[in-house]
């Protein structure tokens, strides 16, 4: 049986771990890739330092980061020197960084630049490929998550400003393994459906890793091959992806994409309904789409 006298409290165990870590790792130098970088109003920097096998939380206080020449960004490879500590309140190990030097581009950023150069050389970003959006589109296809903030933002705006627009949502995963392939297939499926005036392809904000599906070649080529004009609406205004460069028009946010579709000069009389249909078919045709679609929103407009 376990000796009750040997049991530790959580605080006691964390304190022991803190002593072991902070005694044996006074100063270390670590190379890794920046992720989830944040620089709040306090002036301190918070980020994750990672490689292919693991990750470690990092913090660089304002008094130290003032000496760094340029602001780090997600995907950047860096060399950090500092002290390994245990943040007792959460029982988490972290690196308190005293110095940070850029170690070149991270693997993701390097992959981004490589694909960007490749597609640019093929002319996929050329302005003469960009098609104008139709005036007052009446049928809009959307490729995004069915549960994310992006679809809610789009619906909120179009309900108010363009209740005549018919929306067809092809729900997809927007991050993680297989997401890029799902997005590309959804674009192809909506093209096969026919009758759509414009596509909105996007998601809400996130880290470089979160948005990475929109930097994959398969998505870029699906957008480039779309017969329907595509609005790319990925992340926040400061986020740029390969999808943005290939699309006919980049919207800084999903909400902005909805504004572009709605336009401020609509003078339509009220219409009867706004409908959002969701389809998750493997194979698609107009007849099977409508037979299997299910209505998730129907609001009378009077």
Superfamily of domain 4-105: Nucleic acid-binding proteins (2.40.50.140)
Residue 181 is predicted with a pLDDT of: 97
109 vs 35: CA distance, rounded Å: 11
Q: With bands split at pLDDT 50, 70 and 90, how would you rate the model's confidence at 102?
A: confident
Q: Express each pLDDT in 259-268 by its tens digit.
A: 999 874 444 4
For the domain made up of 111-300, the CATH class stated in words is alpha beta
Q: Comparing 290 with 56, which gets the higher pLDDT?
A: 56
8 Å CB contact between 36 and 48: yes
CB 163 within 8 A of CB 270: yes
* Long-range Cβ contact pairs of 220-225 (< 8 A, separation 24 or more): 220/115, 220/119, 220/124, 220/245, 220/246, 221/184, 222/183, 222/184, 222/185, 222/187, 222/188, 223/187, 223/247, 224/124, 224/129, 225/188
Tally of residues, the chain: 302
pLDDT for the residue 285: 35
Residues with Cβ within 8 Å of residue 178, at least 6 apart in sequence: none
CB burial of 78-99 (b: ≥16 within 10 Å; e: otherwise) equals bebebebbbeeeeeebbbbbbe
Rounded to 10°, the helix 254-262/149-161 angle is: 20
Question: Which backbone phi and psi does 63 adopt, to 5 degrees?
Answer: -65, -25
Summarised one tens digit per residue, pLDDT across range 177-193 is 899 999 999 999 999 99
pLDDT of residue 73: 87
Q: Are 218 and 242 in contact (CB under 8 A)?
A: no
Domain boundaries defined on the chain: 4-105, 111-300
Please indicate, yes or no, whether the overall pTM of this predicted structure exceeds 0.75.
no
């Amino acid at each position: 049986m376990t000796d009750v006298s040997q049991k530790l409290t959580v605080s006691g165990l964390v304190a022991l771990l803190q002593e072991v870590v902070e005694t044996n790792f006074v100063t270390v130098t670590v190379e890794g890739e920046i992720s989830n970088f944040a620089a709040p109003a306090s002036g301190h920097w918070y980020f994750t330092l990672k490689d292919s096998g693991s990750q470690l939380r990092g913090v660089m206080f304002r008094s130290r980061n003032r000496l760094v020449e340029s602001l780090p960004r997600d995907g950047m490879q860096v060399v950090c020197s500092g002290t390994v500590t245990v943040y007792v309140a959460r029982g988490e190990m972290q690196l308190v960084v005293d110095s940070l030097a850029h170690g070149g581009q991270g693997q993701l950023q390097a992959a981004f630049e490589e694909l960007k150069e490749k597609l640019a050389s093929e002319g996929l970003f050329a302005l003469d490929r960009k098609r104008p959006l139709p005036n007052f589109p009446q049928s809009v296809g959307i490729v995004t998550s069915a549960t994310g903030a992006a679809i809610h933002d789009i619906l909120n705006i179009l309900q108010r400003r363009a209740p005549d627009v018919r929306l067809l949502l092809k729900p997809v995963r927007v991050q993680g393994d297989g997401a890029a392939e799902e997005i590309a297939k959804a674009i192809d499926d909506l093209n096969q459906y026919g009758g759509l005036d414009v596509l909105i392809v996007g998601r809400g904000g996130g880290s470089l890793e979160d948005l990475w599906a929109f930097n994959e070649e398969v998505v870029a080529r699906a957008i480039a091959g779309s017969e329907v004009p595509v609005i790319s609406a990925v992340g926040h205004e400061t986020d740029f992806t390969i999808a943005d460069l290939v699309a006919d028009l980049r919207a800084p946010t999903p909400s902005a994409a909805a504004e572009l579709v709605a336009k401020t000069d609509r003078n339509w009389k009220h219409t009867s309904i706004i409908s959002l249909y969701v389809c998750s078919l493997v194979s698609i045709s107009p007849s099977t789409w409508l037979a299997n679609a299910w209505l998730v929103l129907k609001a009378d407009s009077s």
